[in-house]
């Protein structure tokens, strides 16, 4: 089966499942697509007792796709740029310090809290796992997923000031989280004694600061190019080239591609830049183009997440560990946000119960699964993949479906 046929199957499934959701279920696309894909996969499992043809075909498609590479190296940049392009830059500028602290200190604190608690919880369940590997799990599960967050918050009626915090945090903590994960991964591979604090600081600084600097340069170049012409066709292509070239350059010079495209997207999407560099016609075409890219890749991504069930080794103990991880991850996120929110709420106008809404609205998604797929067998890949999958399914289906109700209830109180 060639790649064109695989892509055709995925797009066709995404279209069919999307239609079913819009026509009958009427759930947010992120939730509806994942739910329908999981039900479809379970139906294929049931059918395989009589005829395994469909199950074998679905398994073959999944085994031909390197989910980690497809998401982290290809799809993520397009999705993050689309999200950043439509983020309210002026509101984000006002909230820049809490967003920065949430996306850096918050992720680091959550990583260590989750790692420490999971280390002891896994021991209680009879699963002996080294502490460094538990920290790896903490790193991959702590960042909230901008793809899931953006898709669901649109329909949750979250107050705009709070929405900017959640979206802004998820756009940046994704890039920071990947860097933290890669840093701990390198320590786990090389051994703690072979990597010093200076090495970690250098790696972290180069990835994060280098990614933001590259994004700022890309955004400035894109702005100058857009300002010098008035042709919406070419201007749309220029924004596409910004994402593709920026991602390729970031990978080549080993800086964070997610942070680069987020920074570039925020600059290009800034109202001041839009007003001086794009005509109204260009602005409309650029927005519609990236909205379409966002919707298309989102639908394919969540179909893929649902289908990944086929390659995961579901064992009883692993599922129990996953169920125990759900409240642990939520509690650690709540605690990691507690100090920053207390510190900034006196200086900035915070919505009541911000911590509770940010905890429940901080969804996990494909990025966590992609990072878990990158673990080695020695790092207990199968165990952490099941745990991650359980947390992600709960996050999207349960938290995603109820975050709007939570916001409404807190407003009434």
Within this chain, do residues 49 and 10 fall inside the same structural domain, yes or no?
A: yes
Global confidence as pTM: 0.92
Within this chain, do residues 394 and 359 fall inside the same structural domain, yes or no?
A: yes
pLDDT 10s digits, 54-87: 899 888 888 888 899 999 988 999 999 998 998 8
Within this chain, do residues 42 and 81 fall inside the same structural domain, yes or no?
A: no
Measured CA to CA, the distance from residue 334 to residue 338 in angstroms comes to 6
pLDDT 10s digits, 131-187: 999 999 999 999 998 777 776 776 677 777 788 888 888 889 888 888 889 888 988
pLDDT of res. 407: 83
Within this chain, do residues 182 and 123 fall inside the same structural domain, yes or no?
A: yes
Q: Are the C-beta atoms of residues 152 and 363 closer than 8 Å to each other?
A: yes
Within this chain, do residues 98 and 14 fall inside the same structural domain, yes or no?
A: no
> Which of 17, 43, 63 is the last residue before a domain boundary?
63
Kindly state the average pLDDT of the residues 258-270. Answer: 94
Residue 400 CA neighbour count, 13 Å, CB half: 29
Within this chain, do residues 370 and 407 fall inside the same structural domain, yes or no?
A: yes
Within this chain, do residues 99 and 225 fall inside the same structural domain, yes or no?
A: yes
pLDDT at 1 over 60: no
- Domain range for 345 is 67-412
pLDDT of res. 413: 67
pLDDT at 196 over 70: no
Measured CA to CA, the distance from residue 92 to residue 10 in angstroms comes to 35
Nearest residue to 371 (alpha-carbon basis) of 66, 63, 68, 64: 68
Within this chain, do residues 378 and 259 fall inside the same structural domain, yes or no?
A: yes
* pLDDT band of 3, cuts 50, 70, 90: confident
Overall domain count for the chain: 2
225's tokens: 């190019």
* pLDDT band of 389, cuts 50, 70, 90: very high
Per the prediction, the chain carries an average pLDDT of 89
* pLDDT band of 193, cuts 50, 70, 90: low
Residue 377 CA neighbour count, 13 Å, CB half: 1
> Which of 15, 34, 63 is the last residue before a domain boundary?
63
CATH code assigned at 295 = 1.20.1530.20
Kindly state the average pLDDT of the residues 289-296. Answer: 92
Q: How far is the CA of 393 from the CAs of 51, 216, 302, 306, 321, in angstroms?
A: 28, 35, 11, 9, 14
Compute how many other C-beta atoms are within 10 angstroms of the C-beta atom of residue 160.
10
pLDDT at 202 over 90: no
pLDDT 10s digits, 224-259: 999 999 999 999 999 999 999 999 999 999 899 999
pLDDT of res. 187: 85
Within this chain, do residues 47 and 75 fall inside the same structural domain, yes or no?
A: no
Q: How far is the CA of 97 from the CAs of 85, 337, 341, in angstroms?
A: 20, 13, 11
Nearest residue to 171 (alpha-carbon basis) of 203, 140, 148, 201: 148
Within this chain, do residues 56 and 198 fall inside the same structural domain, yes or no?
A: no
> Which of 63, 87, 106 is the last residue before a domain boundary?
63
Long-range contacts of residues 32-35, Cβ cutoff 8 Å, at least 24 apart: 33/298, 33/299, 33/302, 33/303, 33/306, 34/302, 34/305, 34/306, 34/393, 34/396, 34/397, 35/397
388's tokens: 């991650």
Within this chain, do residues 49 and 139 fall inside the same structural domain, yes or no?
A: no
Q: Residue 252: left (phi > 0), alpha (psi -120 to 50), or beta?
A: alpha
Measured CA to CA, the distance from residue 293 to residue 126 in angstroms comes to 45
* pLDDT band of 266, cuts 50, 70, 90: very high
Within this chain, do residues 277 and 359 fall inside the same structural domain, yes or no?
A: yes
User: Cα–chain-centroid distance for residue 273?
Assistant: 27
Q: Which residues make Cβ contacts (< 8 Å) with residue 13, sequence separation at least 6?
A: 37, 40, 303
């Amino acid at each position: 089966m060639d790649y064109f046929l695989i892509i055709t199957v995925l797009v066709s499934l995404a279209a069919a499942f999307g239609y079913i959701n819009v026509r009958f279920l009427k759930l947010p696309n992120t939730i509806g697509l994942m739910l329908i894909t999981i039900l479809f996969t379970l139906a294929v499992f049931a059918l395989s007792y009589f005829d395994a043809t469909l199950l074998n075909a679905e398994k073959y498609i999944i085994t031909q796709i390197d989910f980690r590479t497809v998401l982290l190296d290809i799809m993520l940049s397009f999705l993050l740029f689309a999200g950043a392009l439509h983020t309210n830059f002026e509101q984000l500028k006002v909230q820049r310090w809490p967003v920065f602290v949430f996306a850096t200190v918050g992720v680091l604190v959550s990583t260590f809290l989750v790692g420490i608690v999971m280390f002891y919880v896994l021991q209680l369940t009879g699963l002996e796992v080294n502490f460094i590997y538990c920290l790896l799990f903490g790193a991959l599960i702590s960042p909230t997923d901008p793809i899931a967050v953006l898709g669901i918050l649109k329909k949750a009626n979250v107050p705009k000031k709070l929405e900017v915090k959640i979206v802004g945090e998820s756009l940046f903590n994704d890039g920071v989280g990947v860097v933290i994960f890669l840093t701990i991964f390198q320590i786990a591979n090389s051994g703690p004694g072979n990597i010093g604090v200076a090495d970690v600081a250098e790696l972290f600084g180069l990835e994060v600061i280098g990614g933001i600097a590259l994004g700022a340069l890309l955004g400035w170049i894109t702005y100058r190019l857009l300002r010098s012409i008035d042709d919406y066709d070419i201007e749309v292509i220029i924004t596409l080239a910004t994402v593709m070239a920026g991602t390729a350059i970031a990978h080549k010079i080993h800086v964070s591609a997610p942070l680069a495209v987020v920074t570039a997207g925020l600059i290009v999407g800034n109202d001041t830049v839009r007003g001086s560099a794009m005509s109204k016609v260009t602005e409309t075409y650029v927005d519609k183009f990236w909205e379409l890219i966002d919707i298309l890749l989102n639908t394919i991504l969540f179909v893929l997440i649902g289908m990944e069930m086929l390659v995961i080794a579901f064992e009883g103990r692993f599922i129990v560990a996953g169920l125990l991880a759900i409240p642990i991850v939520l509690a650690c996120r709540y605690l990691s946000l507690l100090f920053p929110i207390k510190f900034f709420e006196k200086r900035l106008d915070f919505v009541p119960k911000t911590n509770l809404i940010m905890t429940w609205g901080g969804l996990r998604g494909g990025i966590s699964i992609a990072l878990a797929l990158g673990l080695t067998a020695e790092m207990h890949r199968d165990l952490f993949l099941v745990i991650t999958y359980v947390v992600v399914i709960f996050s999207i289906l349960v938290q995603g479906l109820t975050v709007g109700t939570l916001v409404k209830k807190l407003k009434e109180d």
